[in-house]
Chain A
């Protein structure tokens, strides 16, 4: 069963990456998707990021009971956990809910109302036309969202740390700037790109093979979110294992 689905998923991806009929139409679609996926998700990513950083600071401070460890460590921990884990992974999980469900229900609705059949009849490669712009839109904008998320998360940590007196501004900034390993940022971007691909391709797959009516569209969209989340965490583990 899993192998059957995996095979279908790979065949769908093969169709997605067929040469587009007309680039300028695809380009327009890509910009549309970049706007809806990227710009459309800015607000929610900004809000969760600030809180992620704030919570990390407060909880790290709580766990730092020993006087032997300098308070500046808080800054380093917030920085590294935001870059490596919190910003890419939590953002991806949130985006799986927001973007994944909308991709699956949009494509699923087109399936059950025969709009995909109509594309096929015209001689259009429907997986390419419908899915490729979404994948490109996500893969280009989600890493940017993750960068913004990292910045805001650290800012949130700084604000929460200084406001609660858990750390001083001086300590926090010292922590931020010492022992930074640039490679962590690379890992973060690799994660962002792969998560973006997972969210859009898995959700598009669920939508594309919806069978039935409005009820099934809802089920596809739920399944898209659940499977995307699982795949994201699985990939997260694999990337960490391979790259770190």
Chain B
């Protein structure tokens, strides 16, 4: 479980996160939703230490990450897998080398074992056989999927995914959502997914946090989200005609 408390982050004059507190549970998909620029990516980066929040704490299963020294943080980071919004694949390495990289760095496995793991991860994101391609030869959606494969290579305890579905077709999108859900349940991972895809929200959103202008505006599950009378959340959820039509059924 990850607990964050009163996270505040500013960039110059821009107060991006205003006192966010939340709990992210094990074994379920925790979603962070909100409009573009609402601070979702920034919150994620504050949680993993890529941004330092001015105020607030992030606690990983009782371990206070914010107060740790660099060396202590390394131990927690080895338990973290993260997919970046822009995939962030190493562009000098092939798909295979990208996924194998953390294994090379932190395990003593034999090449054959590592290769098996790589192929297993690639299979799970429907990219078997693409081992030798370079990131430049992949489509945006394929990059995303390689990024996911890389983030799960080390069997992370904490999985952070920033917009896994943007740039994917609806079918692959569902495959990825299911994959994230499966991994989370199978390994009891603490998974945090940033998204603004309503399909994902309805599909896997067991615990949802809605950010609005840098504040936590609403919190609940996908069962509750359609019945809230929170105006901003309703605007967000029912922005598409499709969802509005679906509301009648809900």
Binding site for B on A (CB under 8 A): 21-22, 25, 109-110, 113-115, 117-118, 120-124
Contacts and interface: CB of A to CB of B under 8 A. Distances in A.
B105 A122 contact: yes
Nearest to A112: B86
B86 A121 contact: no
B106 interface: yes
Interface in B39-82: 45, 48-50, 73-75, 77-78, 80, 82
Contacts of B78: 122-123
A114 B77 contact: no
B90 interface: yes
B240 interface: no
Interface string B17-55: 000000000000000000000000000010011100000
A78 to B, nearest CB: 42
A121 B77 CA distance: 6
Contact of A113 (B86, B106, B154): B86
B87 to A, nearest CB: 8
A115 B86 CA distance: 10
Contact of A21 (B75, B91, B106): B106
A122 B79 CA distance: 8
B88 interface: yes
B84 A22 contact: no
B228 interface: no
B27 to A, nearest CB: 22
Interface string B89-116: 1110000000001101110000000000
Contacts of B105: 21-22, 25, 122, 124
A120 B73 CA distance: 10
A124 B154 CA distance: 14
Interface residues of B, number: 23
B50 A122 contact: no
Given A21-B106, A22-B105, A124-B105, A118 B90 contact: yes
Name the residue among B45, B80, B88, B104 with the largest chain A CB count within 10 angstroms. B88
Given A21-B106, A122-B78, A122-B105, A114 B86 contact: yes
A118 B157 CA distance: 17
A120 B90 contact: no
Contacts of A124: 105
Contact of B106 (A109, A110, A115, A123): A123
A112 to B, nearest CB: 9
B88 A117 contact: yes
A114 B84 contact: yes
A15 to B, nearest CB: 8
Contacts of B75: 123
Contact of A118 (B73, B82, B106, B154): B82
A115 B50 CA distance: 12
A113 B75 CA distance: 25
Given A122-B77, A123-B77, A123-B78, A117 B50 contact: yes
A123 B74 contact: yes
B88 A25 contact: no
A115 B88 contact: yes
A113 B78 CA distance: 21
A21 B102 CA distance: 11
Nearest to A120: B50
Contacts of A118: 82, 84, 88-90
B248 to A, nearest CB: 41
